[in-house]
Amino acid sequence: MHNKMDTQKRFKTVLPKVNLTFFYPRMHYQDRPVPMDVASTSKPLNLNQIRNFDGFIITGAPIDHLDFKNVTYIEEIRCLLQELNKYKVQQLYFCWGAMVAMNYFYGIEKRILPEKIFGIYSHLIIEPHPLLNGLSQGFIAPHARYAEMDKKQIMQNPRLTINSIDDNGHLFMVSAKDKPEQNFIFSHIEYDRNGLRDEYQREIAAHPDRHYKKPENYSLSTPLFQWQDTQKIFFNNWLKEVESNKLVLNK
């Protein structure tokens, strides 16, 4: 994931009836001006507002190759995670967002992969979960990342459950047993049909001298939206979880 404006557009599409607020980390722009397109569509992160949200999504970022300690705004993200945990806001973490949250909350380590997981894959549901309701074995979803969380550490942690993996054994979803408001997704199911193509083209444009893996099971010239049903079902399920969590917190 690279383009902030595309990311916002995608979440507006998958959550069309939701009042969305987009934030950017203040520390990310501490030594440079905030780009106009970011400033016009997003707000600087305000931790005092976190308790007011029904749900919160931390998206991916093209920094999965970096150690967490080398991310310039990591302390701001950790403060955000602390607030989300404190107020039990319904949380959905995608890709790098899932990696940093799982590391912060549970100490799970990130491993750089020998090659990028990139393409469309079928999936196995290992443990049922409300977010997976309505999805069948073999459901389709896209992946695009250079790192994976340590599965052995996850399986050894009694507080975590691996709910779904792709047909190569890569993580799709991990959930927290004692914190149902925390869910970690390693697929970019928010992508539209052109999402993988756009990511591939951005990488080539940024570094034309490098060789980049083409997405598997996906046509760059005539992409098909194979995961459209997965996307619709998943985000509808998440909105139900947001509503259920609100009812619990308001009791």
pTM of the model: 0.95
Question: What pLDDT, on a 0 to 100 scale, did the predictor assign at position 123?
Answer: 99
Cα maximum dimension of the chain? 58
Is the pLDDT at 99 greater than 70? The verdict is yes
Known binding residue 202? Answer is yes
The pLDDT, as a whole number, for residue 2 is 59
pLDDT digits (tens, 9 = 90+) for 134-160: 999 999 999 999 999 999 999 999 999
65 catalytic residue (yes or no): no
Residue 95 falls in the annotated catalytic set: yes
Instruction: Please report, rounded to a whole number, the percentage of residues in the chain having pLDDT higher than 70.
Output: 99
Show the beta-strand stretches assigned E in the chain. Answer: 23-24, 43-44, 55-58, 90-94, 110-125, 140-149, 160-166, 171-176, 182-185
Q: How confident is the model at residue 27 (pLDDT cuts 50, 70, 90)?
A: confident
79 is a catalytic site residue: no
The closest of 52, 74, 64 to 99, measured between CA atoms, is 64
* Single-letter code of the amino acid located at 7: T
Task: Confirm or deny that 116 is annotated as ligand binding.
Answer: yes
Q: What distance in Å separates the CA atoms of residue 126 and residue 124, rounded to the nearest whole number? A: 6
| Architecture in CATH for domain 4-249 | 3-Layer(aba) Sandwich (3.40)
Strand partners, 160: 176
